[in-house]
Amino acid sequence: MVRSSLDKYKVIIAYDFGTTYSGASYALVDVNQEVIDVQKWSSKSGNYYPKTPSILLVDNAEPHGMAGWGYEVKRMLKNPLYSKNYTLFSSFKLNLEQRLKRPELPFHLTPVSVVASYLRAMHQHVLQELKRDFTQFFGEDTYRYCLTVPAMWSDRAKALMREACIQAEIITRTDPPERLLLISEPEAAALYCDEICDQVQLQGAQRLMVCDAGGGTVDLMVFEVDGPRKLREVTKGMGGACGSQFLDERFRHFLNDKLALPIDQIPTMALLNMMDQFIDNIKPAFDGLDDHYLELPSGVPVQPLQAADPDSIDQGTLILQAAELKEKVFDPVINQVLQLIEQQFRELDGQTIDYLFLVGGFGTSHYLYQRIQDTFRNRIHQIVCPNRAEMAIVRGAVYFGLHPRTITARVSRRTYGINAGLPFDADLDPIETRVTRPDGSERCVTGFLPFVYKGDRIPIDHCIYDSMYIYYGTIKTTNVTLYATEREGIPRHYTDAGVHPIATIAVPIPTLPKATHGERIPFVIRMYLGQTEIRTEADFGHGQVFRLYGDFDAVNQYTS
């Protein structure tokens, strides 16, 4: 029997690198495949939460080094020295996606380098934890990794995440690409719910919507049961920057308006104390009905507060009325989540959903659950919050690493194509794009040749290919650029508005002893678009295939 090259992997390690918190889980491939969570994190206090904060601390004098990460940062910030001479990095995951237009990171640090610093520290900690159990008997070269990414991310953002993993030394550039699998967060959540949820019995053709409400983003996707332990995408999925972190930001603005003392004049530790009270106590318990209470730290003067709003202060406690919290903090964010769900229903053309699985840290919110139920009670038969919803993503990623073929088909979020010299049409093509080939044919040099269309359902192993041609001896390399557009309709030219280059494969023309100068030589371009990442190949049929993996900056690089 021929053994698969993947048989060498004995341990699956999954990382859920989140905007606010990150987690890790793992399983042994050949034992009982029980998923084990990493629960011990550096400098973590006694409270139970199997994740670590996605934060870094950088020394202002040495910004290219990392002074601390995760819970260690919270401990360090209690020292006034650190709050003055060090810079806190948070929510830097979002900077990988250019479309979010995030502010630049301090010290001109790149998003990839900052993410890599965090992942390197997290990875080294996880490896130390794994040495405490049976995984110590396996070499690190037998570890396979699965990393989760938001469904809303562009191809470029996913490629940057892979590059960060390389810089973090999780994998190397020479590793097989399949040693690191990427899976969208709602896909991972769907696998988790399908695997462990005893509240429902999923049956053939039933449809389930996953709402992954995390710290930074909320991702949604609809799946259809495609057989036992098989799921296929029904909608192309979507997401928005409306996670629980934006509740935190709105609460900061709320405090700024509520308190007579400007927020930037409140001592750092006092502000962190108030934010922790909101994040740990008020936010998860808020139901839209009950008022809440914020204990004012000693660093916050009481007298100015009483002058600003005397009815909101009672013996050093700030009274937060439910109606005010709804209007100014919760509803503006949750309304965005409801709009995303509504957009998914539009893609379903009025069809109902059997189950909505609410996962992620924000997914445990009582108020979010209630708002979804009130708004969609006639279109969703049952809303399910599975046990340990905050771990659904990372645990589902382990299941994907163990059984990568559980997802049978995906829906393309964009139209993809390549640059091609298409037949010139004087009625459609600008005259300056016309060239005459050695064989006398007239071609448009800016033609867009579509390979897959937005909304297409693509089986995970599906290969799309087309024949291309070069004229031997006229060029040393041929550049094949992959383009994408999210607009409706098919562009005629890759220079059309809304069409963007996302990757280039520069293919050297092989030596062909029997070819003559100017001879038309065919080659095949193959694209595999059913995976989370795109793979492109160029094949001249002479035993050498040029492959592009994850270089999405439209630069000329290739591997053979």
Residue by residue, pLDDT tens for the chain (560 residues) are 333 455 688 999 999 999 989 999 999 887 777 899 998 887 666 656 789 999 999 999 888 888 899 999 988 887 777 777 889 999 999 999 988 888 999 999 999 999 999 999 999 999 999 888 777 778 888 999 999 998 888 888 888 999 999 999 999 998 988 899 999 898 899 889 888 766 677 777 788 899 999 888 899 989 888 777 778 888 877 888 899 989 999 999 998 887 767 777 887 778 888 888 998 899 989 999 999 999 888 767 655 554 455 566 666 788 899 999 999 999 999 999 999 999 999 988 878 999 999 998 898 899 999 999 999 999 999 999 888 888 999 999 999 999 887 777 778 888 988 888 889 999 999 999 999 988 888 999 999 988 888 888 887 777 877 787 888 888 888 877 888 898 888 999 999 999 988 777 777 888 888 888 888 888 888 877 666 677 777 788 777 777 654 333 333 232 33
Nearest in space to 251 (alpha carbons), one of 313, 333, 362? 333
Q: What is the pLDDT of residue 29?
A: 87
Residue 141: other Cβ atoms inside 10 A: 10
555 vs 479: CA distance, rounded Å: 10
> Is 122 within 8 Å of 70 (Cβ atoms)?
yes
Bridge-partner residues for 87, per DSSP?
Answer: 58
Phi-psi region of 288 (alpha: psi -120 to 50; beta: other; left: phi over 0): left
Q: What is the pLDDT of residue 64?
A: 85
Domain boundaries, the chain: 5-185, 202-240+334-405, 244-329, 412-549
235 vs 107: CA distance, rounded Å: 40
18 vs 5: CA distance, rounded Å: 31
Q: Please list the alpha-helical segments (H only) found in 363-513.
A: 366-376, 392-402
Fold of 412-549: Substrate Binding Domain Of DNAk; Chain A, domain 1 (2.60.34)
Q: How far is CA 103 from the centre of its chain?
A: 19
Q: Which two tokens stand for residue 179?
A: 């040693």
Maximum pairwise Cα distance, the chain: 92
- The percent of residues in the chain predicted with pLDDT above 70, rounded, is 90
353 vs 356: CA distance, rounded Å: 7
- On the question of a common fold for 202-240+334-405 and 412-549, the answer reads no
Taking the CA atoms of 214, 269, 117 and 124 in sequence, report the sign of the dihedral they define: negative
Fold of 5-185: Nucleotidyltransferase; domain 5 (3.30.420)
202-240+334-405 in CATH: which number?
A: 3.30.420.40
The number of CA neighbours under 13 Å toward the Cβ of 126 is 31
144 vs 10: CA distance, rounded Å: 8
Q: What is the pLDDT of residue 16?
A: 96
408 vs 405: CA distance, rounded Å: 6
560 vs 370: CA distance, rounded Å: 54
Question: Length of the chain, please?
Answer: 560
Nearest in space to 396 (alpha carbons), one of 103, 184, 126? 184
Q: What is the pLDDT of residue 502?
A: 79
